[in-house]
Amino acid sequence: MRKKRFSALAVVLSVVLTLVISLGGVALAAWLTIGAQGLTLLEGLALINTRFVGEYEKEGVTDAAMSGMVAGLNDRWSYYLNPESYAANQERRQNQYVGIGVTVSYEDERGLLVTIVNEGGPAEKAGLQAGDIIISAEGTSLAGEARYEGVNLIQGEAGTPVSLGIMAADGTERTVEVAREKLETNPVEYEMLDGNVGYIQIKNFYRRSADGMKAAVDDLVGQGAVSLVFDMRNNGGGYLDELTEMLDYLLPEGPIFRSRDRAGNEQVTNSDAHCIDLPMATLVNKSTYSAAEFFGAELQEWGVGVIVGEETTGKGYSQQTYPLPGGGGLGISTGAYFTGQGTSLIGTGVTLDQECVLTDEENALLKAGKLPRGDDAPLQAAIKLLEEKKQPE
């Protein structure tokens, strides 16, 4: 008798048939959706897992396949996250993270340059200061290209220590042990500037950002603010519901956001009658994306805000992140979005009322929170435009 031989495709078909029988309509719908392309991926994975003779990690093959599939979309906004990155991303979107409480840059080849030390955080307690360089983590040098992996070495489970080699600004070196903690980041900071100009920096549009903005506006208005400047520079966006909650709070009754899905279905978000009756300005730069771009564009469309800074990219698609069975996540563009009047920013970015660009050195100071307000040319230009708007015609 001849032994029966089963191909990898037969194995795949058997698995799919089992799923259809056991799960019913949901599995059948998925099966009908993937088509021949899906079968190709499944058979390729089955062949590797049943025939490949070399050593390999299954997770690595899956990660590479998912990354390649997303790359094939030719959409710069879609992404695949492995399990570790997905967990970190979910934490970050809550404006929380496990770490030591520092902001670092990669500009120094000797290691990670500490630009900001969070007040009251583990790093401050361990004596770290802005200007220090983290030259090693757990005995591993962070010099040269290795510094780009430094953050991964420093991160870990809350409550565990990490040993860091530190080089001070004067060149002296020391070793410190820092306890990792679960930390919250503040997405909104604000202050009253000269002339009763309320300044509000919004760092992202993740959780608690809308509440933070509303509290900042209320406090500044209570202090007698006559105008508001929203700083969206280096803001990569975030959740659309946080954005629309902010716009609803600032703008009068009417449409403030439109989105359209793959099938062409349009959804309109409207603001209620409550609004803030003050002239406003939005600061943007080339690292202002998504919701941060849209924020300024919508204030401008309503005639209550001006935009100052440099040309933005023009991101007009929203992404949804789907959790995957292996613990990772797939983020894909699922909708196009528009201003309340139907204007898209895709490929054009915002329309500047005044272009004003910082130098590279000034940008570095801005990111580190060290650029003096008086030396911040875009901020000063925005204040001047707001003053002109208050002048009688």
**Shared domain check, 261 and 167:** no
**Shared domain check, 126 and 62:** no
Q: What is the mean pLDDT of the chain?
A: 89
Q: Which pTM does this prediction carry?
A: 0.77
Domain count, the chain: 3
Domain range spanning residue 207?
Answer: 188-390
**Shared domain check, 342 and 227:** yes
In angstroms, rounded to a whole number, what is the distance separating the alpha carbons of residues 21 and 45? 22
- Supply the CATH number for residue 112's domain: 2.30.42.10
Q: Which of 91-95, 171-175, 313-317, 339-343 has the lowest mean pLDDT?
A: 91-95
CA-CA distances (angstroms) from residue 154 to 150, 162, 163, 233? Answer: 6, 7, 9, 27
- Which residue, chain included where needed, has tokens 């009688």? 392
* Residue 27 pLDDT: 45
Give me the mean pLDDT over the 239-252 stretch.
97
Evaluate if residue 10 carries a pLDDT over 70. Answer: no
Give me the mean pLDDT over the 339-348 stretch.
94
**Shared domain check, 248 and 165:** no
Q: What is the pLDDT of residues 45-84, one digit of tens each?
A: 889 989 999 999 988 999 999 999 999 999 989 999 998 8
CA-CA distances (angstroms) from residue 251 to 88, 127, 188, 199, 337? Answer: 34, 45, 19, 18, 18
- Supply the CATH number for residue 350's domain: 3.90.226.10
Query: Cβ distance 229 to 281 under 8 Å?
Result: yes
- The answer to the question of residue 68 being in a domain is yes
Tokens for 270, please give them. 């409207």
Q: Within the chain, where are the H helices?
A: 8-23, 25-51, 58-71, 83-92, 122-125, 150-154, 209-222, 240-250, 291-301, 360-367, 377-390
- The answer to the question of residue 195 being in a domain is yes
Give me the mean pLDDT over the 166-187 stretch.
92
Length, in residues, of the chain: 393
- The answer to the question of residue 88 being in a domain is no
Q: Which of 9-18, 141-150, 298-307 has the lowest mean pLDDT?
A: 9-18
**Shared domain check, 135 and 59:** no
**Shared domain check, 230 and 171:** no
**Shared domain check, 221 and 137:** no
In angstroms, rounded to a whole number, what is the distance separating the alpha carbons of residues 253 and 15? 54
Of 58, 81, 104, the position where a domain reaches its end is: 81
**Shared domain check, 330 and 268:** yes
In angstroms, rounded to a whole number, what is the distance separating the alpha carbons of residues 297 and 370? 27
- The answer to the question of residue 5 being in a domain is no
- The answer to the question of residue 74 being in a domain is yes
Of 135, 150, 184, the position where a domain reaches its end is: 184
**Shared domain check, 360 and 321:** yes
**Shared domain check, 61 and 20:** yes
Of 55, 81, 107, the position where a domain reaches its end is: 81
Give me the mean pLDDT over the 246-267 stretch.
96
- The answer to the question of residue 4 being in a domain is no
Evaluate if residue 261 carries a pLDDT over 60. Answer: yes
